[in-house]
Amino acid sequence: MFFYAVSNRGYDDIIGMRYSNAGNLLSGAVQIFTERMKLMFNIDLLSRTPIYEQLYKKILELILKQELKTNDKLPSVRELAKELGINPNTVAKTFQMLEHDKVIYSLAGRGSFVADVKTDVITEKALSGFDTAVREALAAGIPKEELNNRINQIS
């Protein structure tokens, strides 16, 4: 077997934080990455979920939590790729998907910004998960009444 054992993620995180300043010297770009931002965008490189999908969900989540507000500037592809240690093509792909879904918009030469996302777009996304869960529950033979009761209990 030739695959390396998966190394300890915590270690890489620490290294990433500690030496990020050395790497920043490479780019003349103004660093808008605060420590807080870094934590916000933290993604799991060892996760089973594709990196672009994680980043997509992360940005949606940040908008939903109001950490990113309408017309806020997003970090550039370069900054995100460097900070997260991932391929810039992956970041660019995520931004394209977000733009396609009208979550962000971009201005030539100025970067990407948070669009005036109707909360119903986000609600729609949340509900699609709900729909799947209901379908599964019904398929598993749980009666509709019980599901209704459940909703009443939670809300």
Partner 1 sequence: MMDLKGVTLQFDDFTALDNINLHIEKGSAFGLLGSNGAGKSTVLRLLSGVYKAKSGNVLVDGEEVFDNVNAKKKIFFINDETVQFGGMTLKELKEFYKGYYESFSGELFDSLNDVIKLPVNKKMDKFSKGMKRQAIVITGIAAQTDYLLLDEAFDGLDPTMRIIVKRMLVDAMIDRKLTTVISSHNLKEINEVCDSAALLHQGKILFNRDLDSIKGNVHKIQAAFKGEMTKENFTDMEVLHFERRQSITYMIVKGDLEFIKNNINEKKPDILDIIPLTLEEIFIYEMEGMGYDYKGNN
Binding site for partner 1 (CB under 8 A): 1-4, 6-7, 11-12, 15-16, 19-20, 22-23, 25-27, 45-46, 48-53, 77-78, 81-82, 85-90, 93, 132, 136, 139-141
Least distance in Å: CB of 50 to partner 1?
4
Return d(Cα 151, Cα 155) in angstroms, integer. Answer: 6
Give how far the C-alpha of residue 5 lies from the chain's centroid of Cα atoms, to the nearest Å: 27
- Residue 32, token pair as written in the block: 């808008």
* Residue type for position 74: L
- Which one, 40 or 43, has the nearer CB to partner 1? 43
Residue 25: CB minimum distance to partner 1, A = 6
Q: Residue 97 or 121: which CB sits closer to partner 1?
A: 97
The answer to whether the CB of 71 falls within 8 A of the CB of 114 is yes
Residues in the chain: 155
The Cα 20–Cα 96 span in angstroms is: 26
Token pair listed for 96? 């394209």
Residue 111's DSSP bridge partners are 107
- Judged by CB, which is closer to partner 1: 67, or 136? 136
**Which CB sits closer to partner 1, 88 or 143?**
88
Minimum CB distance to partner 1, residue 119 (Å)? 25
Q: How far is the CB of 151 from partner 1 (least distance, A)?
A: 21
CB of 115 closer than 8 Å to CB of 103: yes
Query: Least distance from C-beta 92 to partner 1, angstroms?
Result: 9
Between 18 and 65, CB nearer to partner 1: 18
